[in-house]
Amino acid sequence: MIYFYNTPYEDEIINFQKQLVEYETECTLSGEWTLIASELTKPEAEYFRSLNDHEKEIFAKGHSFTYVSDLIYSPSKILFNNYDVEFINTFFDKIKFVK
């Protein structure tokens, strides 16, 4: 877990969450993930493709909030297994992660 709560860096994690949710929302809305869906995610991909644009926005935002929250409350290793350190650092002003 990334523990920045009740520290001078709490605003950094809040900003990180907001920005990563926006990034993941855009990725979800692109629909590219539906082209590489596994058997496990195929029903979700088919459901997403059946939605209209407004419904896709709602789906993408909800999906992104859930995904990012899971990442934030998981061990940091999971976050860095999914994203490059340099990419993660683009979301922070006062904190820099190193390999």
Entry pTM: 0.85
Give the per-residue pLDDT at 65: 96
The tens digit of pLDDT for each residue in 62-89 reads 999 999 999 988 888 899 999 999 999 9
Tokens matching residue 10:
């709490």
How far CA 16 is from CA of 4, 30, 37, 64, in Å, comes to 11, 21, 27, 13
Mean of pLDDT values over 4-33: 89
Q: Is 54 exposed, middle or buried (0-12, 13-18, 19+ CB in 10 A)?
A: exposed
Give the per-residue pLDDT at 35: 92
Residue with tokens 């990180």: 16
Confidence of residue 8 (pLDDT cuts 50, 70, 90): confident
Q: Give me the percent of the chain exceeding a pLDDT of 90.
A: 72
